[in-house]
A and B are shown apart, each in its own frame.
Chain A
């Protein structure tokens, strides 16, 4: 079915290593987002992209980078992972920025 695909579903990563979380949507949505969700907390925005070719910083951008080379893909990169980046990462997209966001099923990342 159409939607958002995130990969991997889970990963254990040594501190200091780099990692790219993948996100692909097939709904031709213009806007895409990356959130992290920590235990007992709501989602916090890391980075967003209103349209292909543009990106912006969210609430907690430090230690993360993104790119938006095309409409469908919005990868999130951790250049040098630290234990505080242990979290569940959700990718989302919306047709436009003022419309509901639709989420993938997340990547569970543990940094040791």
Chain B
């Protein structure tokens, strides 16, 4: 079936550096993409989303980039902080299907 996957299971960065978390998706019909952050013992927390009519969207310290040609999504976190340490999930859907398909997650470790 269609799936969403991640290139790197664990990413370790130094505090203050920028982080980039990547995600590949396989469903060419997907038109909505979303990033979640999950801390230990907590539910996923919404970070940012993007629709397929855009290729870039910025939030506070975060940027999501979408490359529909190669079906690739990335999350950029500027000036990474220890509080950013968590597992990050990408998810996708096509708005007709109305269901999110999640990737398996990338763990971000921020070294002080």
Residues on A lying within 8 angstroms of B by beta carbon are: 4, 31, 35, 40-45, 48, 50, 58-59, 90, 92, 97-98, 100-106
Contacts and interface: CB of A to CB of B under 8 A. Distances in A.
Interface in B68-112: 89, 91, 95, 98-105
- Size category of the B interface is 20 to 34
B34 A103 contact: no
Given A40-B104, A41-B104, A42-B105, A97 B43 contact: no
B42 to A, nearest CB: 6
B57 to A, nearest CB: 13
Contacts, number: 51
Closest 4 CB pairs of A and B: A42-B102, A103-B43, A97-B98, A43-B102
A112 B9 CA distance: 30
13 contacts: A42-B4, A43-B91, A43-B102, A45-B99, A45-B100, A48-B98, A50-B98, A58-B99, A100-B46, A102-B46, A104-B43, A105-B41, A105-B43
B28 interface: no
Given A50-B98, A97-B98, A98-B32, 12 more contacts: A31-B98, A35-B102, A42-B91, A42-B103, A42-B105, A45-B100, A48-B98, A59-B99, A90-B44, A100-B49, A101-B46, A106-B43
B67 interface: no
A13 to B, nearest CB: 20
Contacts of B99: 45, 48, 58-59
Given A42-B103, A42-B105, A103 B44 contact: yes
B98 A101 contact: no
Contacts of B42: 105-106
A19 to B, nearest CB: 19
